[in-house]
Chains A and B, each alone.
Chain A
Amino acid sequence: MLTAKDLRDFQKVLRQSDHPLNVGDAFHVPNLHGDKQYDMIERLFREIESCDGSGLYYFTGQRGTGKSTELRRLETRLNGEGYRCIRFDALHYLNDTQPIDAHLLMLMVAAGVDDWLTEKYPEKDGGAESLLSRFQDWLKTKVELEKVDVSLGAGPGLPSTRLQFNLKPQQETLSSKIRGMSDRREFHESIIKFIAEMCQWLQKREQRRIVIVVDSLENLRGNPLAEQDQERIFGSVLDVFADHLALIRVPDVHMVYSVPPYLCFLANITPQVSWTPLASVRVCEKPEIARRKPREIGLAVMRDLLERRLPRWREVLSQEALDRLSLLSGGDLRQFIIRILTDVFYQAQFALERLPLAKDDSIIDEVAAACSREMERLTVRSEWPLLKTIANENNIVAENRSQIKILAHLLDTKVILNYRNGGEWYDLHPTLWATLDAYTSPAQST
């Protein structure tokens, strides 16, 4: 028999669930996003494997879909198959509210690789020491960028190395310095050369091909106080990731960038680059098969997700109730675990006599109603015609540039969810289905 304290302890477990997982972690669910042809990491790995040269790969997905966890899985997979993966978080070096360009991006990549090598190979040999010193001296002379001690104030998730390039606070100055250079092309070539040399040293040392994974670039967004800033960010994202692909490649190195999901609305880049989107867990069938029909495989994954955290969950919830909550989340993992389940477990401590809660228990109804109310607050009426179209067509087609800004926000706030079963498709968050189904847009009414 569960007690209120048990339920409070369960909530703590759920609240602590929000961090990237490694393969083998107790909470890690294999094949969360599907196996075989639906396993996007396996697909990405195969693409890397089949390419001998300098591959370029874009990885994307909405917040909280498990991108960082999946990139860790890619890292494990690569390292186990004869590759050496250098993975780092771009936001340790860049501000997410400032535009970037290809030069700055590659400067950041070079800094990231240098920091990675410094941390992993404190005792260098074979000329690595002089290579890194040369690179650091060059940066100091060229753009006055130096390493600083970051161990003070560093917290969980930050690199453990004490010295790291202090690019972030100087990003704006660096950008303008680079823009003002008369030999920008030469500068860029030098950076690429340094990255290539560092990777060559590592490749020689480990006898493995090198893959660089740059995480978190999907978080680039505008400065809230600058009206035109979102446009500048869009412009810079397009410039870097669509128009100047040659500038972000490194010879003989596979480059994996996590990029904003809205990039595919800005430009048709899929013919030129490998595009790997990570979607929400498919708790519903594909629209072509049956619109918004629960999908047993997806629901089973969500059950597994909870089972690994709380093996006793069946004492709190009936399976039907859990499935209802899974559908309510639309397969959005963070909402499912941190909010929906936490809320239900919180309220369940006051209804011990009703455990396990049935599908139609008032607690489940209340949590569902609260989710709907909040989701409605994340939209404004003027967005409803667009949302209605997305709901009807399960696709996103931006009519103009200003609509992309709206779409970027709607994807950010999970009002629109992205799914993938073979092809990509979109739908509204399930808590909005009833409201938008009942809504008739002015265009439709005429």
Chain B
Amino acid sequence: MPELRFELDASLSSDFENHWQRLRILLEEPQLFAIQFVFSSNYELHSALLRRLQQTALSLAVDCLELPKTSSAELSDTGTSTAPSTAHQLAEAITRHCLARIFPAAPPHTRLLLLDLHQALPVALAALLAEPVDGERPAILHQALADSRALLLSRLNERRAQLSAFGPLLILLPEDWTKPAAEYAPDLWTQRLSSLYLPPPIPCAEGSPSSEPAQGVLPPEEAPRAAERNILARWQEALRSGQTQRLPVSDGWIAAETSAKLGNGQEAEDLAALCLRLAYERGSLREQMGSQNILGDMRLRRGRIEQAREAYTVALSIAQELVSKEPDNTERQRDLSVSYDKVADILRRSDPASALANYQASLNIRQDLARQEPDNTQWQRNLSVSYEKVADILRRSDPAAALDSCQASLKISQDLAQREPDNTEWQRDLSVSYEKVADILRPSDPAAAFANYEASLKIRQDLARREPDNTEWQRDLSVSYHKVADILRRSDPTAALDNYQASLSICLNLAQREPDNLELQTDQIISHVKIATLHPTVPTTEARAHLQAALQLARQLERAQLLTHDQAVWPDDIQRRLDALPSA
């Protein structure tokens, strides 16, 4: 058996390494039965740990059975002749499937049994639910998820004597499943090794600023131009007077977006609704589609995700109808691809399997368009974006496929940048593509990831030099410094510190220009904490100063209720880190 690697991987945070070292022990003696529970609400850390475990198991030739992995095609394994359609049937089906895999008729060769009841189970359940009833799917899946976890734990507890013929059993569960796990599988629970609790997704500890806006948050916007304000004024008047006869619906879309830019969310949604009413009155399918999309956008801005999804779904059905009427019209094809993307954007967190199907549909259309007009740079760029979106989803479930998709996007970005070297948009796209490839490579191949981050950084340094006043370029550069620092954190903490400081310095400059920019404030918090945790390179006094600065900002945002659900733990986390510092 090859020697286990004990050295720490420099590419990831210490939290990752601490938890990985605990899991690694399971592979040291794969013939020994052991039960390890891992509780997590941290998707990234969870996925990275699993990937490392699978890779190490492979390199050590430890047979690893991963469950639940299933698809509609495997339904026959579950002993079901028809696809399950209720929560209870789904739970029974997935449990039968898993037990049949774990306890086959022949003696098991498996050593490591990896039961991901947190992230893999919902995907497997969605695959089993082949015939969803409209509107009921999320509710069924939600109930089926809880039932399946309970049933599987209970059945495994019942078969604990047989399980002891295996090697280690690793069970991954959501963070709040400690009590249910102990109650549904009391015997496995008393026999367990100490449970691992992955820290919540606090960017202070694990994350990095992203060069992309978070889901549901639109990118920073330019101030409305005079022409846009004029259009808005006309539509505001129309809203008041009801006089809409001569107004083009497409102007209404501009008015709604302008109103939203000015922070008038309710008015923007009212304007979008007005556009929709006019589009229906005028019988224009294209305007109906566009208005539904704008209405969805406005609702999304206000956090009304379900309502946004409704609008996007109607827009998608109209786009499909338009394509069926004019199958050769490339603009209609493009509209349809946009609609698929919008629906997928909404679903990507709640239902990644459906999101992937929608992104894939969009990608197929864009591949066709790019093939038809290879010189159309917009089609090429759209295709590149589609590859990236598909990669974003696959990154969690199938990193190899995600990397392929990202590299296809990178190839297009390189081609566009080569065709028009002075086009800064293409250059920026190229930097994003390098960064995304690096993000995927980071857990498995830190050296290659580093090379890609550096390539991205180089482009961004160049863009920032060309347009020093462009805040977007500057922020991108700050993100790049930060990501390079993350990679260097363990192997070269001094260089990491330089890069974090460069990143922070840009953030501070930008924050002076845009004191209300929330993203810049959260970036600062992350940078402060990362610098503070670079001890012993950073002395305690400096670490304290950074944590105090981070805490002050975090408390401000907390008071203003500007922290997201995930960020809500930041102030306490930072306080805890401050408290843990040795006293002066």
Contact = CB atoms under 8 A, between A and B. Distances in A.
Q: How would you classify the secondary structure of chain B's contact residues: helix, strand, loop or mixed?
A: helix
B514 interface: no
Given A12-B32, A15-B34, A224-B150, A342 B193 contact: yes
B484 interface: no
Interface in A14-47: 15-16, 18
B583 to A, nearest CB: 14
Contact of A153 (B107, B182, B197): B107
A338 B192 contact: yes
Contacts of B5: none
Interface residues of B, number: 39
B207 interface: no
B161 interface: yes
A156 interface: yes
Contacts of B186: 63, 219, 221, 412-413
A373 B175 CA distance: 13
A343 B29 CA distance: 17
Interface residues of A, number: 43
Interface string B183-207: 1101101111111010000000000
Contacts of B490: none
A334 B193 contact: no
Contacts of A155: 161-162, 164-165
Given A12-B29, A12-B32, A63 B193 contact: no
B154 interface: yes
A208 interface: no
B103 interface: yes
Contact of A343 (B32, B108, B194): B194
A98 to B, nearest CB: 10
B182 A339 contact: no
B34 A224 contact: no
Contact of B151 (A225, A342, A370, A412): A225
B259 to A, nearest CB: 45
Given A370-B194, A413-B186, A96 B157 contact: yes
B161 A157 contact: yes
A343 B22 CA distance: 10
**Residue in A153, A346, A373 with the greatest tally of chain B CB atoms within 10 Å:** A153
Contacts of B34: 15
Contacts of A224: 147, 150-151, 153-154, 184
Interface in A358-409: 370, 373-374, 377-380, 409
A428 B106 CA distance: 45
B214 interface: no
Contacts of B91: 225
A443 interface: no
Nearest to A332: B190
A223 interface: yes
A152 interface: yes
B183 A413 contact: yes
A121 to B, nearest CB: 24
B158 interface: yes
B88 interface: yes
B179 interface: yes
Given A153-B103, A339-B194, A378 B178 contact: yes
B17 to A, nearest CB: 12
A338 B191 CA distance: 7
Contacts of B103: 153
A95 interface: yes
A158 interface: yes
A97 B161 contact: no
Contact of B158 (A97, A153, A156, A343): A97
Contacts of A96: 157-158
Contacts of B233: none
Interface in B502-556: none
Nearest to A153: B107
A442 to B, nearest CB: 22
A27 B165 CA distance: 22
B203 to A, nearest CB: 22
A414 interface: yes
Contact of B179 (A97, A158, A334, A378): A378
A346 B162 CA distance: 28
B178 A223 contact: no
**Residue in A15, A63, A342, A380 with the greatest tally of chain B CB atoms within 10 Å:** A15
Contacts of B183: 409, 412-413
B105 interface: yes
Interface in B70-112: 88, 91, 103, 105-108
Contact of B192 (A95, A339, A378): A339
A409 B105 CA distance: 34
A413 B154 contact: no
Contacts of B182: 378, 412-413
Contacts of B165: 153, 155-156
A64 interface: yes
A326 interface: no
Given A15-B34, A63-B186, A225 B147 contact: yes
Contacts of B194: 339, 342-343, 370, 374
B190 A64 contact: yes
Nearest to B108: A153
Nearest to B148: A225
A370 B195 CA distance: 9
B40 to A, nearest CB: 13
A329 interface: no
A153 B105 CA distance: 7
A338 B25 CA distance: 14
A11 B25 CA distance: 10
Nearest to B184: A224
Contacts of A335: 190
A15 B164 contact: no
A338 B32 CA distance: 13
Interface in A85-140: 89, 91-92, 95-97
A156 to B, nearest CB: 6
A436 to B, nearest CB: 16
Interface string A196-240: 000000000000000000000001010111000000000000000
Contact of B193 (A92, A339, A412): A339
Interface string B120-160: 00000000000000000000000000010011011001100
Interface string A147-172: 00000110111100000000000000
B170 to A, nearest CB: 14
Contacts of A158: 161-162
A370 B19 CA distance: 14
B32 A157 contact: no
7 contacts: A15-B32, A18-B191, A63-B187, A153-B108, A339-B194, A343-B194, A378-B178
Interface of B: 22, 25, 28-29, 32, 34, 88, 91, 103, 105-108, 147, 150-151, 153-154, 157-158, 161-162, 164-165, 178-179, 182-184, 186-187, 189-195, 197
Q: Which 7 A-B residue pairings sit nearest by Cβ, starting from the closest?
A: A155-B165, A224-B150, A377-B178, A413-B182, A412-B186, A63-B190, A339-B194
